[in-house]
Amino acid sequence: MPFNRRMTKLAGLILAGGRSSRMGGGVPKALIELAGTTLLARTIAVLAPEVDDLAVNLPPGVDVPDLGLPVVRDEAPTFEGPLAGVLAGLVRASALPVRPTHLLTAPVDLPFLPAGLAERFATAAGDPDAIILAEGPSGRAPLSALWPLSVAPRLSAFLSDGTERRVGAFLSRERTVSVAFAPAIIGGRAVDPFFNINTPDDLAEAAELIAQGDP
């Protein structure tokens, strides 16, 4: 059946499995501090009210302070990209005592992640098997998405093939619906709400924006 937030349980997953290689310093991206708190804590504050069950995906060998969230590890021992984290989240959600129909995901490195993702995605979820994707002013943000649990076998087969791991390559095989989000106004500037932190310069820009306004 189509996703209806008022009639079904919803699982959530914070994707924090990246290697953070471009940030330098060796600090896991989830633990990078911005405006007095970690990127992980910022993301929890946005997603926790949206879902009935929230977990965080971490790569093997990376741990974070206990924040009261279950940790979902990629099943592969080597870095397999963000889709491996999505698959791990889908598998976990399928085993919950009350099985949800969908998994809401967002990367940990989006400092201006908008609230209300689940409700916005629900308005576009007429096809129960479609993946609902966020689209900001700069283009699609394919990991800020609502995934039907029914996609798990196809995603598993895609990753098991071993020839392709790109998110876009998998999505090109699936039915998708994009939901457009307007710019966020922060510090008097229009900012893509799915602006992500990949480099120290990105982190500095986010800190400057936050210092100029209160997102």
* pLDDT digit string, tens, across residues 142-170: 999 999 999 999 999 999 987 888 999 99
- 17 labelled as ligand-binding? yes
Q: What is the CATH number of domain 10-212?
A: 3.90.550.10
pLDDT, one tens digit per residue, over 64-82 is 777 789 999 886 656 578 9
- 15 labelled as ligand-binding? yes
- 214 labelled as ligand-binding? no
- 16 labelled as ligand-binding? yes
DSSP the chain: ----TTTS-EEEEEE-----TTT-TT--GGG-EETTEEHHHHHHHHHGGG-SEEEEEE-TT------S--EEE-SSSS---HHHHHHHHHHHHHTSSS--SEEEEEETT-TTPPS-HHHHHHTT--STTPEEEEEETTEEEEEEEEEEGGGHHHHHHHHHH-S---HHHHHTTS-EEEEE-PPEEETTEEE-TT----SHHHHHHHHHHHHHS--
Give the domain ranges of the chain.
Answer: 10-212
- 69 labelled as ligand-binding? no
- 198 labelled as ligand-binding? no
- 29 labelled as ligand-binding? yes
Question: pTM score > 0.75 for this model?
Answer: yes
pLDDT, one tens digit per residue, over 82-114 is 999 999 999 999 999 999 999 999 999 999 999
